[in-house]
Structure 1
Amino acid sequence: MTKGLQLELRNSFRKTFSTACERKRRMEKPRKKFTGFIDDAVAAANKMDRDELLFSYKGILYPVTLCSPEVFRAMESLEARSDDIILAAYPKSGTNWLAQILNDLVAIFEKKTQNKESSGNDEELEEFPYLEIGDTGKYERMNKLPSRRIMITHLLPENLPRSVFKNKAKILLLIRNPKDLVTSFYHFTNGIATLPSYETWDDFFVAFMTKKMPWGCYFEYLSKWNKYAADENVMPMTYEELKENPVLGVKSIAAFFGISLTEEELQTVVERSSFQSMKKNSEKTHGAYANVFFRKGAISDWKNLFSEDQNEKMDKAFEEHIRGTKLGTMLKYDVYCKA
């Protein structure tokens, strides 16, 4: 073998190896950012007393180590676009699950239509996915990012940047039956230091029903988002319907956001977003708190905790706040929340 050929082969190997390393680095980068942010927030929370963990902004409680009034004020500078993909969901509605689906849909679509290896550039991958969590300079950076941008939020509609509705950004609104949601929230709260823990389920239930939850009251969340549920740029979906028919759900989501994929590609998204698959990879995606983020992913787990009195109180609250509305009807409360 000539020296020239050896040099050519060596350079070719280096280029291939470099490309492979870059691809791996870009895929791992967003998850390192996610887990690093959570680790830092937990470390800060561990040094705080329980009554210091939450602050109030416009009458709603938020975690001190994740959110701040300064960031909320800076958020108004975000310029939403009509091709933005926004996932709106109250905590423990299945946010991580839907985020996986949306990221896979966009990544596969962009790879085959624009020959991209990921859903954006390195700068985009550096941004924490939750709209209300980050630093005050986040939104200026986001305004410079190319489309499509994927954003996640737990906020009420009136607390989102005005440009979201003005520019008709598309919103996937994910909701979940309140009894399973509060059950999941209870286990999550006691599993991560950024939120106040509770000695008993009964104590947590009282706090949930008396509007002392981070990101506000779930029934008020449903009621206020219901005003937008019929808008053409909003697609409501329940955790339960997606759980029962994930193939149809993923197809509907793709169609709503104008993402055209083959049946095989859609099936890949469904398989990658199954609870078993996500839990298996959770240590890579969510670090030390994998088991907190992915506990059961089940329907009707509430039956293991609710007392008869708590059932009656939740039923009454649902009746008063949301029954008869579009979102209330979609939740199929009598199917999923009756003993």
Structure 2
Amino acid sequence: MTTIKGASVRCENLQKAFGTVKAVDDVSFDISGGEFITLLGPSGSGKTTTLMMIAGFEVPTGGDILINDTSVATVQPRSRNIGMIFQNYALFPHMSVYQNVAFPLRMRGRDEEETRRRVRVALETVGLTGYDSRFPRQLSGGQQQRVAFARAIVFDAPLLLMDEPLGALDKQLRQKLQIEVKRIQRDLGVTVIYVTHDQEEALVMSDRVILMNEARIAQMGTPSDLYDRPVDSFVASFLGESNMLEGKIEQVSANEGSMMLNGNKMVGQLAGQFSAGDDALIVVRPEKMWFADDENDGRTNRLSGRVIEAIYVGDHHRVVVGLDGREPLIVKHPTQFGQRQVSPGETVELAWHPADTRILRAPVS
């Protein structure tokens, strides 16, 4: 299949209300041609409604949607030249694989010779050569999803919209197809807007992630932007797992700040503007912490605690460490040979780098 020139997409102050309920509230973003963008968020955050407006299945209450710099807010879905892939595959059960994939071409009036050629190439692209005569009931869930993908790309749509397309599959197959979908997207050059509530899926597949919460964009950026540099406590807690420690800012210097926690000075990277005395949160990921045996040389943040439990999880131990007067911390401690192992009841000193420490504004209670 020839490389497709991916479409650019721009949403400007997009809004959607159902009665008095705002499902999408003033959402704006730009997507370049060929990008893989994921709309991520909890149920009710507005991600699927945003996708449905881009597809044309929902009409915006306000704002605009532009595909290749042309407004499509009032254009019928069939005229937007968009491929759609859903969680339930939406295959026609009475049609063969060939007929399902050929359907968009026949609806567009393509001749039979071109249809045969395009279907053959599309099935080859998704690894289903030789499956032409089978029916959906004769396929596994993963194979059905590949047929749905072939049907979406067969007419050279420059934009693919995917709504939880791998959600019904088991974990191992889902992980395999994540890599396959990303490979095909990259090879074709098509633009993808992908909806999921699966954080790991968003990190693995996306060029950029748009994390939504309560009908608005909480943060937009590369997977590492959101994971390593969350802008607030919602982003830090939703995307992966975080340890959060409350305190007050003591000093501010450029982009760094310091706080005193349990008698220890903590240094971290500031997310926004802070002043001395502000309530704040120290945020650090469990895999960034380790158990220190050496003396503190002042280059790491340190806290002492007592091991509550150490749970074996295969590639790491999930260690729960209790602190005086604070919520316990979680440490993901590698299990490889030579690593220090800890036991419940043991007193330990935790260490982590200031560069791995994020200081966020404390949420208003």
TM range (shorter): under 0.3
- Higher percent of residues as strand: 2
- Higher percent of residues as helix: 1
- The TM-score normalised by the length of structure 2 is 0.25
- The TM-score normalised by the length of structure 1 is 0.26
